[in-house]
């Protein structure tokens, strides 16, 4: 799987949320990750949210666009942040560890 992102957006995301897009890409390795269509922000392109765990056991939310084609799987990361308490609760309930 390939990842792409805007470098300026990555820098601003790191300053604002203390998560780089490189770190955020780890969420796609979480077999328990929850994928949710982002219908409120999909006017121009189909955006998704993924709620999952990264290496340091932090639960995060990543907004992304699937740019895959028949030749390659590619995701464009738009933003990433730590999950809030309700999102963490949803994650752990979904995986049966509440």
Residues with Cβ within 8 Å of residue 23, at least 6 apart in sequence: 54, 55, 80
* Helix or strand (DSSP H, E) at 26: none
Asked if residues 77 and 13 have their Cβ atoms less than 8 Å apart, the reply is no
* pLDDT tens by residue, 10-37: 999 999 999 999 999 999 999 999 999 9
pLDDT for 17:
97
The pLDDT assigned to 41 comes to: 65
pLDDT digit string (tens) for 34-47?
Answer: 999 987 766 788 89
Which residues, other chains included, contact 95 with Cβ-Cβ below 8 Å and sequence gap of 6+?
Answer: 32
């Amino acid at each position: 799987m390939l990842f792409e992102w805007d470098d300026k957006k990555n820098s601003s995301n790191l300053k604002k949320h203390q998560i780089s897009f490189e770190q955020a890409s780890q969420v796609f390795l979480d077999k328990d990750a929850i994928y949710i269509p982002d219908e409120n922000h999909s006017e121009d392109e189909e955006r998704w949210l993924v709620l999952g765990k990264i290496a340091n056991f932090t639960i995060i939310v990543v907004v992304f666009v699937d740019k895959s084609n028949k030749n390659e799987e590619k995701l464009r990361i738009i933003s990433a942040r730590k999950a809030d308490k309700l999102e963490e609760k949803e994650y752990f309930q979904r995986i049966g560890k509440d």
